[in-house]
Chain A
Amino acid sequence: MMSRLVILSANSLKGSGPFGAGLVHASRSLHTSSQSRAPVPPLPETGGKVRHGIFPEEIFQLLYPKTGVTGPYMLGTGLITYLLSKELYVINNETLSAICIFSVIIYGVKKFGPSVAAFADKLNEEKLAKAQEVKDLAMSGLTQAIENEKKEQWRVEGRAMLFDAKRNNVAMLLETNYRERLHMVTNEIKRRLDYQIALQHLNRRLEQEHMINWVEKSVIGSITPQQEKESIAKCIADLKMLAKNTQAKATV
């Protein structure tokens, strides 16, 4: 008997997180008709139009051809007069309390009706906005992924250039390294050869000096005193002659 309320509560609690545990499947057993999915006709946006809050517009349209605009109002007035005059409805104390409660209800509906409707619309709007946001985020994420992918593809084209540049780099490195080692080897060899040359030079110079010293020593030793006197006298004679010559050249 309270199944409708239970279904109602279960369905409203179903979506509300940790508090809705175990309620979803309990209501499944109470479903009577199978779910039909297609084709689903579009639902009306607003409810049926009513006049004065309770009387459907259809009644007014129904009575319009025969009784015009005032028809339903006359019907209402006539009905009420009939009920009151025939005492089918007796005015008693309940009527007063009915007037009070209905005025309270009508006041409440008139005052808070639009704000409550706006609140309900806002709840629906928020739900819609959340779903829309998810969809928008997903779409923007996917477009971003597409752009990234295109960029990666463009990058792949430049890969060959990159490899060439790297290959050139490596070749240059190898070349440089080879030249350096060659240079080092030449230097080392030159140093060793220079050393040998310097050694030879030194040897020859030593030999020369030794030889000169020996020759000088032997020459100086071979000069007898007789020879020395003779050479000195010759030198003096030569010098006298030279002086005479120079003097003669000077006067001439």
Chain B
Amino acid sequence: MTMNLFNQFLSPTFLGLPLIAIALMAPCLLYPSPAPWWQSNRWTTLQNWFIGSFIKQILSPINTKGHSWALLLATLMVFLITLNTLGLLPYTFTPTTQLSLNMAFAVPLWLATVIMGFRNSPTHALGHLLPEGTPTPLVPILIIIESISLLIRPLALGVRLTANLTAGHLLIQLVSSAAFSLLLSQTTAASLAVGLLLLLTILEVAVAMIQAYVFVLLLSLYLQENV
């Protein structure tokens, strides 16, 4: 039963070819490229509006030097939100449930912010390891704690996304199989389970979008610290 539940997270292959590549291309294929004419259709207008307002909001606390990250953050956001929401459709595979993918996003980007910070203003970057106003006896311990917290950030970023999505999908599988198996014998219990499934689905839609947003937001925060 447990083996069955986790089967959905196996990276799909077909004749030895990893199908995750096709899954990862899905967001790119879904959005229309902007038209060369001046006034575009509704979908493109909404896209442009969404990306524009998202970037405005996320880059507003960052100074001008960090604005070169705008394209990266926008792309990452659109990619993650599409992958997450597409994974809610039935029989789809969500690449962001793979820890490897999320770590592949989190570690290089986080490391980039840290290296940028240490290269451009090392004292300022090291200063982040000690919060202001700590009493003197606590300083050594606090530095160690802050360094650990700094080093755990990529792990946290990756695992947060993975865990949230995996847990969500797992719950959906569990509740739906419970409802399905109860459907014919105890229909009222099954209907309660279906109600729960409905609420869970709404939650999962929200979680999918929020987790993508949180990932990008935290990256922008790390960037803001170091730029």
Listed in ascending order, the chain A residues whose CB lies under 8 Å from chain B are 1-13, 15-16, 18-23, 26, 35, 40, 43, 47, 92-98, 100-101, 103-104, 116-117, 119-121, 123-124, 127-128
A5–B78 CB distance below 8 A: yes
Q: Which of B28, B43, B177 contacts A3 (CB 8 A)?
A: B28
The segment out of B10-18, B47-55, B154-162, B217-225 that lies at the interface is B47-55
Consensus secondary structure, chain B interface = helix
A19–B67 CB distance below 8 A: yes
Q: Which of B43, B64, B183, B198 contacts A100 (CB 8 A)?
A: B198
A19-B56, A98-B90 provided; 17 other pairs, C-beta below 8 A?
A: A2-B28, A9-B71, A9-B75, A12-B51, A12-B74, A15-B52, A26-B71, A92-B180, A93-B173, A93-B177, A93-B180, A97-B90, A97-B176, A100-B176, A117-B42, A119-B46, A128-B39
Most chain-B Cβ atoms within 10 A of its Cβ — which of A1, A13, A23, A93? A93
- Tell me which residues from 83 to 122 in chain B have a Cβ below 8 Å from any Cβ of chain A: 88-91
Q: Contact mask B33-51 → A, CB, 8 Å, 1/0?
A: 1101101111101111101
A97–B201 CB distance below 8 A: yes
Q: Contact mask B184-204 → A, CB, 8 Å, 1/0?
A: 000000000010011011100
Within 8 Å of chain A (Cβ to Cβ): is B70? Answer: yes
- Cβ-Cβ contact count across A and B, 8 Å cutoff: 132
Q: Which of B28, B52, B67, B197 contacts A96 (CB 8 A)?
A: B197
Closest to B200 in A: A100
**Whole-angstrom distance between the alpha carbons of A116 and B44 in the complex?**
13
> Taking the nearest CB of chain B, how far is it from the CB of A104, in angstroms?
5
Within 8 Å of chain A (Cβ to Cβ): is B31? Answer: yes
B79–A16 CB distance below 8 A: no
**Whole-angstrom distance between the alpha carbons of A116 and B50 in the complex?**
12
> Taking the nearest CB of chain A, how far is it from the CB of B42, in angstroms?
4
> Taking the nearest CB of chain B, how far is it from the CB of A6, in angstroms?
5
User: With A1-B28, A3-B28, A123-B49 in contact, is A10–B71 under 8 Å at CB?
Assistant: yes
Closest to B196 in A: A100
Consensus secondary structure, chain A interface = helix
> Taking the nearest CB of chain B, how far is it from the CB of A122, in angstroms?
10
Q: Which 7 A-B pairs have the closest CB atoms?
A: A98-B90, A12-B48, A120-B42, A93-B177, A4-B28, A11-B34, A93-B176
Within 8 Å of chain A (Cβ to Cβ): is B179? Answer: yes
User: With A101-B90, A101-B201 in contact, is A9–B74 under 8 Å at CB?
Assistant: yes
Most chain-B Cβ atoms within 10 A of its Cβ — which of A35, A119, A123, A127? A123
- Chain A neighbourhood of B181, CB < 8 A: 93
**Whole-angstrom distance between the alpha carbons of A2 and B27 in the complex?**
8
A100–B201 CB distance below 8 A: yes
- Chain A neighbourhood of B47, CB < 8 A: 8, 12
Within 8 Å of chain A (Cβ to Cβ): is B139? Answer: no
A-B contacts, 22 listed (Cβ < 8 Å) = A2-B75, A5-B27, A5-B28, A6-B75, A8-B33, A8-B51, A9-B75, A9-B78, A13-B52, A13-B55, A13-B74, A19-B55, A20-B70, A22-B68, A96-B180, A96-B194, A97-B90, A97-B197, A100-B197, A101-B89, A116-B46, A123-B49
